[in-house]
Structure 1
Amino acid sequence: MATDSNTALQFGPAWCSRQVPTFSGMHDTHIEDGDDYSTITLADIFTMPPGDHAKGAGPAFIPSSYFDFDARKHASQRAKGSFVALCGDIDSGDHSLERIKGLMRGFSGKSACLIYSSAHARAGDMRWRIILPLETPVSFDDWHDAQHAFFDFMEEHGVEMDRALDRAGQPVYLPNVPAAHAKSGTRLRDEDGKPLYYDRATTGCNAPGLDITTGPIAVAIADIFRKRAADERDRERIRAEAMERRANKPQTEGGPVMEEFNKSNSIATLFEMYGYEQSPRNPDDWRSPKQTSDSYATRIMGDTWVSLSASDVGARLGAVCKAGCFGDAYDLFVHYEHGGDHKSAFRALYAERRTSAPVSAPPPVDADDPGWTEPPHDDDTQPEDVFMASVPDELAEEKPELDAVDAFDFNEADIPTRPWVIPGVILSGYTHMLAAPGGSGKSLFTLQIAIALARGLPWGAFVPRRKCRTLIINVEDDIDEQRRRLSAARTVMQGGDELRGMIDLVPDAATIVVAGRSPDGRTIRTMPIVETLVEYIQRREIDVLIVDPFAETFEGDENDNSEVKWAMKIWRDEIARRTGCAVYLVHHTVKHAGGGAGDANVIRGAGAIVNSTRISATLMPMTSEDAEMIGVDQAERHLYVRYDDAKANQSLKTNTARWFEKVSVTIGNGDKENPSDEVGALVPWIPPDAFDNLTGNTIKIILDKVEAGLPSGERYTGSGRGGSKESGRWVGCLIMAEAGLTEPHAKKVAGTWIANGVMVEEEYHCPVARRKKKGLFAPEKARPGEPK
């Protein structure tokens, strides 16, 4: 439901009432006067209209609850801030609002979200800001990781983010539209002062805050932790290498000059001088000016710096080792002031030393040439040669009997990530299985997955990593029927010309048989069509192959484990692995699968079918139990289907159902004599939440009645046990009557209010039972938004 900020503060999720510091423009500071900053609630931000200030003077906020006089200082927010929202700034790419909304659904699901265009957005150059309130306030370190997980997700999908928003005190500008664009003078408001290009989208204030401990963001944060741990191990290895090399380095005549330079010049000072950027998270971490990535790959470790940047290694900065490079202050001076020429650097320092403090004893050689002795540095060694040992000629032709490697002789950061096409759903180079009963919409589902892949945009909870080309082999439906369904799907998914050339159909798919019986009828053999398929996939650069249904593509017994194993082996080894594409096989469930959603045992045929796939899933109609729990009329439950993981060897994500609703679409293929066809399509559907239909007025009525108690003098109870439900004393009965909710939804509302302290259970004297009993009260002081 739509809510204003006052209603949200009273009855909305906890994030609505969280206060954040706000100020006017980039120059508004309280450092001099020592006053606290004004604050604004997140709910107010979600409902505010755009201001009309000049771009640099517009209102801004910091997504932290710390608002003292020094709240705009990064160090203060890092130490004292409690961060309540993730924020994003998109200043390039001219992305549509629909695209950003789709990505947000893929990233944060049903969580609260606000998207609005920024001050200088205009036609052909739309720019966006995003605010994602958090379910629970977090420290700077956790917030910083969550911000980067958010940035990484968006950039994986082609949306460049302004990573300056990972700084603790960075201003986030609120909705604002000046009269004109500052540089070009383009009008941004019409003559009546109405914004010309401003646009926004929001979930409203009823949606929950983003929980960073579950879902895609939790997976991304875990990846950041693992990468950070791997980096720490590499840094320690590099530091140990540096100490060992220094200990073994022979003394040179120029040693005292270099030591004196290192004592007189801190690495941090030189980093600032040479254009390094300091990390907002760890002051010892820096980004080299040579880096092309957004990481802070260089760390100060005592009197040594170590870098994990390949760009620094390629630039021959300092000494090169297996995991990166390292050096001291003197190495920075050599590289940035003298282009890596150690002789030139030494002579410059020696001349400066003689000028400022002449020595009484003569130098080791004449004054014009102080006698540089080349230290055993690694400048003449190529990075790839540093740790390569030579192999004796007599062993060059020998081969071990078994090729094996040390299990832990690897750099974790060098392990390639899994080649997900759709994370948790489709993986390149593997076979997959989707099982569904007849009439469930499995063919519709696969056609629409192909459209989502072609667009590279989220479809509900399915978020492709990139645009992909798909080949569909559908044995059951002719090409005209497939095109009818594609037309309807294109309409509901808002596809356009970008789909052309991205999805291939096989007109006579009944001829596609990849495995057949041998002439003696005892074994399974590969059919000639396999090579044709491999050649087509490679030539057309197919990313995903969909086969519907699998059982029609081999001449064998699907209940025979041996035969199924060999048929599946052909799809896996001969097609998926040879081509690198993902093979997505569609299959049937057993009869009367019933409530078998997410259960691999309902997949029809021999167990080798499931065992030979990397990822299996089910697509099942809504059961009567599902309908009752969700609140769907039993007469309409046939319109809903659910997708569940049944087996996911490469993913440990939770087995959460993803729902779809079947809708009817009239396609444009008719005329006056022949009406256009009505064709089904699937649209992502989020089951209604218990709180969706609760208005502020209804909530007040319910809580007032709870506080007043029953006419008999008894109190409502929070449990349906002990006859309370049947007698009408259970508070859920009141909620169902006033709000029209189902019993499961009423139970959820009651439980939430009791847990949050909106309703409290206390002892009272019951006039009916003439003894003390426990009952519910809902005092005004316990309600959200009211003083306690």
Structure 2
Amino acid sequence: MPRGPPPDVGGPRVVQSRSRRRISRAQTSPMCWPSGVDSPFGYTVVAEGPAFWVDRDDAWDEAAIPPRPWVVPGYLMRNTLSLVVGSPAAGKSLLALLWSIALALGEPVGKFKPIPGAESPRRRVLIINAEDDADEQRRRISSLIRQFGKRAIDLDGWLTRAGPEKIASLFERNAETGKITRTAALADLRLLIEETGASVVILDPLVELTTGVDENSNGDLKQVLAELRTLAKECGVAMLIVHHLRKGIAAPGDLDSARGASSIIGAIRVGMTLTGMNEEEAAALGISPDTRRNYVRLDDGKQSYAPLGDAEWFERIGIELANGDWAPTLLPWSVPKDTVTSEARAAIESGIARGSPDGPWSPTLSPKPRSVKHLLVSHGITTGDGQRKLMQDLIAGGFEVAQFKDARTRKIVTGLRTSDGRPTNADWKGDDGDE
């Protein structure tokens, strides 16, 4: 009995094949059927070319394989979709605008380092913003561009801003058929890409660019994103989509917290989260509770082509414009040196409780093998000031400097121990009545 898919109930189904390469009938197996012939499983085969491209050449030149078409390594790649998700107040639109300015000027900002174009270090950018009008975008650009030492006129046409006159949905659900269809706005977007020569397109936000699409439906979102990915490939652009997080507290780097169906994650190649500084981070970094909302962190959530990176921080401040208005800006912000996170402190405390390979850690900061300095450096506390400050905090928090008998030299030396006497394998002086 031949193997294959079961017949459809209710009549044959038409299968249309599309591909970049044709396979001759001589290459097909007996389980394939000529065009127009009904298969035993209820399919009518319609010849429009095969469904798959085929590569049988195994003798390729490794050096001749084209490199991945990064526009900004780790962030944006031609022919693919990138995603940045964040809460409404996180500043994701501001970040997208900051990146678009960096691309248009051909200058880096933080870890975002554009690769120069073929004819210029600058890249043409098209940003579709469905929430901010032209004047608001001008205010924000005026504030953001100052950190580059430039003015808006220096963009010189490399950054095109566009937004809806009324409704600019790229996709909508047909009321009669229930199917998701392309709109005239999608055709206009394609024309804008061609007219501007953009190599990067930013869509902000995704939810405002569809009508009647159920963002909680994997099928609906999969179709929308497949269409956008096809547009990116056909136009040869890198496309950045700005999207919202679900309500509630989101963990940095957790793309599953993106609002809507999970199929959005499978359709992208680079995914990032933008989240605000939480209370624990603020305490570890020495940021006051009143000002922590001014700091946001960008984390890699999904990168199919680049290693996961460390968090990238930004500080949000207000800039007074020449017209008297205030506009926000985002500035790259570096975590202070020798910052002790709660995780690092817990690891250091556990290390003291375990002791070093040569016995309890010595409180003396020196190159000697038993010095606690080695433990602190292994957890990122590298400067003398930072090490001394942490030692003071540990002693104030209950850790003790006590004497014990060195098992190797039989001498009385000093070591660090917890308030309950760990590490317990040391011969602490004063224990068991030893004076």
- TM-score > 0.5, shorter chain as reference: yes
CA shift for structure 1 position 613: 1.3
Which residue of the other structure, out of 47, 55, 59, is the alignment partner of 1:405?
55
2:277–2:297 Cα contact (<8 Å) kept: yes
1:636-674 Cα offsets, whole Å, 9 max, x none, are 2111101111111122x13310111112111112xxxxx
Aligned length: 322
Which residue of the other structure, out of 146, 150, 174, is the alignment partner of 1:495?
150
1:134-178 Cα offsets, whole Å, 9 max, x none, are xxxxxxxxxxxxxxxxxxxxxxxxxxxxxxxxxxxxxxxxxxxxx
CA shift for structure 1 position 748: 4.7
- Tell me which residue corresponds to 2:308: 654
1:471-505 Cα offsets, whole Å, 9 max, x none, are 11111111111111110001122224431201111
* Pair 1:775 & 2:423 matched: no
1:718–1:750 Cα contact (<8 Å) kept: no
Structure 1 residues 509 and 571, CA gap change in structure 2 (3 angstroms): farther
1:600–1:610 Cα contact (<8 Å) kept: yes
Structure 1 residues 509 and 607, CA gap change in structure 2 (3 angstroms): farther
- Tell me which residue corresponds to 1:302: none
CA distance in 1, matches of 2:238, 2:379: 44
* Pair 1:663 & 2:317 matched: yes
Which residue of the other structure, out of 563, 566, 569, is the alignment partner of 2:223?
566
- Tell me which residue corresponds to 1:431: 81
* Pair 1:628 & 2:307 matched: no
- Tell me which residue corresponds to 1:551: 207
1:444 is paired with a residue of what secondary structure?
Answer: helix
Which residue of the other structure, out of 328, 331, 334, is the alignment partner of 1:686?
334
Structure 1 residues 545 and 747, CA gap change in structure 2 (3 angstroms): closer
CA distance in 2, matches of 1:747, 1:404: 50
The within-5 A match list for 1:291-302 is none
Structure 1 residues 415 and 745, CA gap change in structure 2 (3 angstroms): closer
- Tell me which residue corresponds to 2:381: 749
The structure, 1 or 2, with the larger RCO (C-alpha pairs under 8 Å, 6+ apart) is 2
1:229-273 Cα offsets, whole Å, 9 max, x none, are xxxxxxxxxxxxxxxxxxxxxxxxxxxxxxxxxxxxxxxxxxxxx
The within-5 A match list for 1:176-191 is none
CA distance in 2, matches of 1:754, 1:458: 31
1:718–1:731 Cα contact (<8 Å) kept: no
CA shift for structure 1 position 522: 2.2
Structure 1 residues 494 and 753, CA gap change in structure 2 (3 angstroms): closer
- One-letter amino acid matched to 1:564: L
- The answer for unaligned runs of 5 or more in structure 2 is 1-23, 29-49, 117-121, 341-348, 355-360, 365-375, 392-400, 417-435
Structure 1 residues 459 and 560, CA gap change in structure 2 (3 angstroms): same
2:381 is paired with a residue of what secondary structure?
Answer: helix
- Tell me which residue corresponds to 1:421: 71
1:433–1:584 Cα contact (<8 Å) kept: yes
Which residue of the other structure, out of 427, 437, 462, is the alignment partner of 2:112?
462
1:488 is paired with a residue of what secondary structure?
Answer: helix
CA shift for structure 1 position 456: 1.1
CA shift for structure 1 position 513: 1.1
- One-letter amino acid matched to 1:538: E
TM-score (norm 2): 0.67
* Pair 1:518 & 2:150 matched: no
CA distance in 1, matches of 2:204, 2:129: 5
CA distance in 2, matches of 1:750, 1:485: 39
1:515–1:570 Cα contact (<8 Å) kept: no
- One-letter amino acid matched to 1:646: G
1:709-740 Cα offsets, whole Å, 9 max, x none, are xxxxxxxx996649xxxxxx9969xxxxxxxx
CA distance in 1, matches of 2:216, 2:303: 22
CA shift for structure 1 position 536: 1.7
Structure 1 residues 627 and 731, CA gap change in structure 2 (3 angstroms): farther
CA distance in 2, matches of 1:730, 1:474: 59
Structure 1 residues 681 and 731, CA gap change in structure 2 (3 angstroms): farther
CA shift for structure 1 position 508: 2.9
CA distance in 1, matches of 2:81, 2:112: 18
CA distance in 2, matches of 1:468, 1:500: 12
Structure 1 residues 460 and 404, CA gap change in structure 2 (3 angstroms): same
CA shift for structure 1 position 591: 0.9
**Which of the two has greater helix per residue?**
1
CA distance in 2, matches of 1:399, 1:468: 48
- One-letter amino acid matched to 1:644: D
CA distance in 2, matches of 1:506, 1:458: 24
Instruction: Give the percent of matched residue pairs that are identical in Structure 1 and Structure 2.
Output: 30
1:599–1:646 Cα contact (<8 Å) kept: yes
The within-5 A match list for 1:582-731 is 582-594=238-250, 596-651=251-306, 653-669=307-323, 676-690=324-338, 721=353
2:291 is paired with a residue of what secondary structure?
Answer: helix
Structure 1 residues 509 and 774, CA gap change in structure 2 (3 angstroms): farther
- One-letter amino acid matched to 1:493: F
CA distance in 1, matches of 2:229, 2:235: 10
CA shift for structure 1 position 554: 1.1
CA distance in 1, matches of 2:332, 2:286: 17
1:589–1:604 Cα contact (<8 Å) kept: yes
CA distance in 2, matches of 1:749, 1:584: 37
CA distance in 2, matches of 1:720, 1:411: 54
2:190 is paired with a residue of what secondary structure?
Answer: helix
1:763–1:775 Cα contact (<8 Å) kept: yes
The within-5 A match list for 1:128-277 is none
CA distance in 1, matches of 2:163, 2:63: 45
CA distance in 2, matches of 1:634, 1:411: 57
Instruction: Tell which structure's C-alpha radius of gyration is larger.
Output: 1
1:564-587 Cα offsets, whole Å, 9 max, x none, are 1111112111x2111011111101
- Tell me which residue corresponds to 1:446: 96
CA distance in 2, matches of 1:528, 1:625: 48
- Tell me which residue corresponds to 2:132: 477
- The answer for unaligned runs of 5 or more in structure 1 is 1-396, 670-675, 693-716, 723-728, 733-743, 777-788
CA shift for structure 1 position 410: 0.5
Structure 1 residues 413 and 773, CA gap change in structure 2 (3 angstroms): same
- One-letter amino acid matched to 1:571: L
Structure 1 residues 487 and 751, CA gap change in structure 2 (3 angstroms): closer
